Structure 1
Amino acid sequence: MPVYLYWGEDDFAIANSVKKLQAQVLDPAWLQFNYHKIAADSPQAIIEGLNQAMTPVFGMGERLVWLADTNLCHQKPTEEILSELKRTLEVIPDTAHLLLTTDKKLDKRLGSTKLIQKVAQVKDFSLIPPWKSDLIAAQVKQVAQSKKLKLTPKAIATLAESVGNDTRQLWNELEKLKIYQGDSDRVLDENTVSALVLCNTQNSLKLAAAIKDGDIDRSLGLVTDLINRNEPALKIVATLVGQFRIWTIVKLMQSTGEKDNKVIATAAGINNPNRLYFINQEISSVSTQQLLAVSPLLLELEYSLKQGAEALAILQTKIIELCLVFTSQTQV
């Protein structure tokens, strides 16, 4: 009874995993008979999907029933649905595969979620938080290896800074690098990556540094460049939030007298405590009060963008305000 539950915001990674599952279980010649994708946002659709999963395979290969965007794991189901789940999940034929996907976090309190988790292979496709650079670098390395692409450690770091947690862009950029590499067995370095890859996230991190330095001209130039490259404004803000979050937590913990780098790194979501050496250099010239003043301004910026404000104009306005925070010389 193969049952799968894929959840998380990374729709590109979910789509790739679905394709792999399709290739694994379906016979292309019998696709139209044995593959069913159902928008599972209603009780009728869910029952239809469960019934399809119980239907014998027609022809060759196996059967795949995909309940897409299901609400089973974040909305309380009706008693009819819960009863049907109990009746069906444990008796699905071995030749049938039931796949459920959702971009929302699972509500593990629900009876339906508990039932599904008992029998399903559950995979978490949540996006890596943009400030967890070590995890992003590990993801870059893993995907590059799957494409048999050799990158130096500095090239991996550069690519991680460039694409951030955007797996779609990561795959696209690695495809580009693979084409560049051709049939050769050479290892690509950071100079090659910098020349071929759009470095939007890297520029967002540079923007955070320029704001922290109170450099208005450089900050405005970077944000204009990002918008001209079609970088989503909310993604720029997410990167700023992540970077300033790390700086603020580290500064706060140090100001309270904490000296254990492992404790500080854990609180800030940093996998490698050795990074604190460089972070300390980055925040040595700013105060705790200045860093704490950033969060409300970023929240206002995010709210304005979600309310439909013109991206470049509101970004420029708020970035000037953010830069002015760091013109104060008060140190704590």
Structure 2
Amino acid sequence: MIVTAKSTKKEGALAPIYLLHGTNTFILNEQKKKIIDQALNEDELEFNLSNYDLEDTPIEVAIEDAETLPFFGDRRVVILNRPVFLTAEKTKEKIEHNLDKLQAYIEEPAPFSVVIIMATYEKLDERKKVTKLLKKNASCIEANEMGERELRSFIIDRLGENSIDIEDFAVDLLLQLTGLKLSLVINELDKLTIYIGEGGMIKREHVEKLVPKTLEQNVFALVEAVVKRQVSDALVMYDELVRNNEEPIKILALLVSQFRLLYHTKQLSAQGYGQQQIAQTLKVHPFRVKLAMQQSRGFEENELKGIMKDLANADYEMKTGKMNKSLILQLFFLQRSAQ
């Protein structure tokens, strides 16, 4: 979901209370920085900027700070982090909060303070009185993770600012390697921009060279090699992972997870489920389902069943110590060439 924003303040004016909520911490932190920069100059930060962790500090302490006149300046900024009481999460809170104090402040905030509430949660509990009050009275900014389509547009637009083009295949790989995490995408785009230079073209090989792969992504490449029956490539990749001190049993667990996803995706797809429906049913990101749908086309359902059985046997052999762990997976890859 792309960033959405709702604000009760006039354009250019500071609101007394901001509610920044959602799972996209990169965007939320950018918004927080903009508010702070507008409210305080550099000399005022030391005396008039306060941060509170509400899992360790009662809300009334923070409110008392917001009601205190600023030092050597016109405004005070008070940031409230981790307000779990705005959610429906069942947690044993270490601190008891006087929410009546917060509610009274929301209805009549101090004119000289800016309170920023950082609720980096997927959902807020809309049934709670304090949440309703904030939604009504605060300037609300919601930012959640972007979907694949929004991220593609973001990548193209951001590179376009430096007159840089990017191949579709390069975008595909960048999204895969970053797991559609906006903060990672931005970091890697900055790196690629410096490497390519203004007016250049980013190709797949540039992404392969500069963007690091996680173990999960290396295992995805292993599965891709199995799909294409490129057993020698799979063995080379596996050997490199082992030489980099990755544990065979961890690699096996990730292989099981990926092939299980392929199997269930193929089953559901055969039943007429679309990408979004499969993602909701399996509780995985739609982009992962998209990739799984592509990979699963290389197998019949019975073949995936057989692979799952072979991986279960490999797991048993590893855990019972019947054979060298590394050799067990090498044999698994070699079996694929014989089928």
The normalised TM-score by structure 1 is 0.65
CA contact (8 A) 1:162 1:197 kept: yes
2:68 maps to 1:55: yes
Aligned-residue offset at 1:164: 1.9
Alpha-carbon deviations, 1:128-186, whole Å to 9, x = none?
6xxx755654554465457775433332222112222344433332221222234x322
Q: Quick one: which of 73, 76, 99 aligns to 2:86?
A: 73
Query: What is the distance in 2 between the residues matched to 1:317 and 1:100?
Result: 53
Aligned to 1:115: 133
Aligned to 1:152: 167
* 1:115 alignment partner AA: L
Aligned-residue offset at 1:327: 9.2
2:127 maps to 1:91: no
Alpha-carbon deviations, 1:23-58, whole Å to 9, x = none?
3332111111221111111452x2122222333444
Query: What is the distance in 2 between the residues matched to 1:2 and 1:137?
Result: 33
CA contact (8 A) 1:53 1:65 kept: yes
Alpha-carbon deviations, 1:215-266, whole Å to 9, x = none?
7775565356457779999x9899868865763454223433x3xxxx5123
* Cα pair distance change 1:3/1:319, threshold 3 Å: farther
The Cα RMSD (Å) is 4.9
Query: What is the distance in 1 between the residues matched to 2:177 and 2:98?
Result: 45
Alpha-carbon deviations, 1:73-98, whole Å to 9, x = none?
23588996221121011322465332
Aligned-residue offset at 1:22: 2.7
Query: What is the distance in 1 between the residues matched to 2:162 and 2:81?
Result: 28
* 2:204 alignment partner AA: E
* Cα pair distance change 1:144/1:107, threshold 3 Å: same
The normalised TM-score by structure 2 is 0.64
2:45 maps to 1:36: no
Task: Summarize the alignment of residues 297-308 of structure 1 with structure 2, pairs less than 5 Å apart.
Answer: none
* Cα pair distance change 1:146/1:205, threshold 3 Å: farther
* Cα pair distance change 1:42/1:56, threshold 3 Å: same
SS where residue 274 of structure 2 aligns?
helix
Q: What is the aligned length?
A: 301
Larger radius of gyration: 2
Which structure 1 residue ranges, 5 or more long, are not aligned? Answer: 302-312
Task: Summarize the alignment of residues 1-332 of structure 1 with structure 2, pairs less than 5 Å apart.
Answer: 1-8=16-23, 11-42=25-56, 44=58, 46-60=59-73, 62-74=75-87, 81-93=98-110, 96-108=113-125, 109-120=127-138, 121-125=140-144, 134=149, 137-138=152-153, 140-141=155-156, 144=159, 149-182=164-197, 184-200=198-214, 202-210=217-225, 219=234, 221-222=236-237, 225=240, 244=259, 247-256=262-271, 258=272, 263-269=273-279, 279=293, 282-287=296-301, 290=304
Query: What is the distance in 2 between the residues matched to 1:81 and 1:103?
Result: 21
Aligned to 2:321: none
Which segment is superposed worse, 33-42 or 317-326?
A: 317-326
CA contact (8 A) 2:17 2:106 kept: no
* Cα pair distance change 1:52/1:197, threshold 3 Å: same
* Cα pair distance change 1:289/1:194, threshold 3 Å: closer
Query: What is the distance in 2 between the residues matched to 1:96 and 1:232?
Result: 53
CA contact (8 A) 1:211 1:219 kept: yes
CA contact (8 A) 2:39 2:75 kept: yes
Which structure 2 residue ranges, 5 or more long, are not aligned? Answer: 1-15, 280-284, 316-323
* Cα pair distance change 1:205/1:154, threshold 3 Å: same
* Cα pair distance change 1:67/1:79, threshold 3 Å: closer
Q: What is the percent sequence identity of the aligned residues?
A: 21
Alpha-carbon deviations, 1:5-38, whole Å to 9, x = none?
3343x55554444334333332111111221111
Which segment is superposed worse, 132-141 or 112-121?
A: 132-141
Aligned to 1:307: none
